[in-house]
Amino acid sequence: MSDTTTRDEGLETIREQRCHGGVQGVYQHRARATQTTMRFSVFVPPQAARAPAPVLYFLSGLTCTEDNFTVKAGAQRYAAARGLILVAPDTSPRGDDVPDDEAYDLGQGAGFYLDATQAPWSRHFQMETYVVHELPALIERAFPARPGVRGITGHSMGGHGALTLALRNPGAYASVSALAPIASPLACPWGHKAFTAYLGEDRARWAEHDATALLRARGPMATLSARLLVDQGDADGFLRDQLKPELLDAACAEVGQALTLRMQPGYDHSYFFVNTFIGDHVAHHADALR
């Protein structure tokens, strides 16, 4: 473990710890997109000491920070075996001067991976620009990452993020997957609440950040090097009201997007579910990115 040190234009190392032969670090920097200090975790596998490695971005769900995935998912073992860098950003801007809401599903910890257009959120909540542009540029400068070779995945709100960011930014990601994603914010209470606050009342704007609507509007992801992989627990308490993978399944079928949707019997929404299936997702991305 090292003390806080400075590297690459204001990138600060919070800690670095050896893990599965690589290095699990937590870092922070002043982000232009959000006008806040953003924290993220990076796992660098041992292979990256010899040659730059592909990067898998993991987007977390409501209430999470960069810490939940890093500590609970157990993904480092698989990333070390396959030579992938793992990057887990925080789920929103944070700080005393950053707007928030008392509820867990809006404001800090609930950025929904979009660029907000409505006050008071629009000044800081620019998570799409941060995750798609600013963070990868930093990662590819400061870590042994192969430039432009990126996959994206995520859990719950972060699954929504992975799907929509890949659909909205063709060519940005060569592989996409999701664990228990919010399949259609247009069709669930979490989505209605967040999109009303961040994007306003116009539902045409909402559709630009909804995986099922994006698929119908833009067709399958031509730049994808593998099928879309989605895992969903069938004992997940949010399945029927919030997640609705059947809507994603229908949209993919309609437009011809290759999808492997696996309903996992008995699994809930927790990180025990993520821990169980993250190895398959790392393998999915490693196969596509090699």
Contacting positions for a copy of itself (CB under 8 A):
1, 17-21, 24, 71-72, 74, 76-77, 233, 235, 237, 264-268, 270-273, 275-276, 279
Can 236 be counted among the known catalytic residues? yes
Cβ contact 113:161 at 8 Å: yes
Cβ contact 190:240 at 8 Å: no
Can 269 be counted among the known catalytic residues? yes
Q: Least distance (Å) from a copy of itself to the CB of residue 114?
A: 30
- Which residue of the set 236, 249, 284, 285 is catalytic? 236
- The set of residues, in sequence order, having a beta carbon less than 8 Å from that of 21 and lying 6+ positions away, is 45, 46, 80
- The set of residues, in sequence order, having a beta carbon less than 8 Å from that of 42 and lying 6+ positions away, is 24, 25, 27, 85, 86, 87, 88, 139, 143
104/272 with CB nearer a copy of itself: 272
Q: Least distance (Å) from a copy of itself to the CB of residue 41?
A: 11
The CA-CA-CA angle for residues 145, 149, 153, to 5°, reads: 100
Can 92 be counted among the known catalytic residues? no
Buried b (16+ CB within 10 A) or exposed e, 135-145: bbebbbeebbb
Q: Least distance (Å) from a copy of itself to the CB of residue 234?
A: 10
Q: Least distance (Å) from a copy of itself to the CB of residue 269?
A: 9
Q: Least distance (Å) from a copy of itself to the CB of residue 289?
A: 23
- Pick from 236, 231, 232, 228: nearest CA to 211: 228
Cα distances (angstroms) measured from residue 250 to each of 56, 157, 239 = 27, 20, 16
3-state SS assignment for residue 275: helix
Q: Token pair of 165, please? A: 């960011």
Rounded to 10°, the helix 157-168/211-218 angle is 20
- Which residue of the set 156, 175, 177, 184 is catalytic? 156
- Which residue of the set 124, 160, 269, 285 is catalytic? 269
Q: Token pair of 6, please? A: 């400075």
Q: Least distance (Å) from a copy of itself to the CB of residue 197?
A: 29
Q: What is d(CA 12, CA 56) in angstroms, rounded to the nearest whole number? A: 21
Residues serving a catalytic function are 156, 236, 269
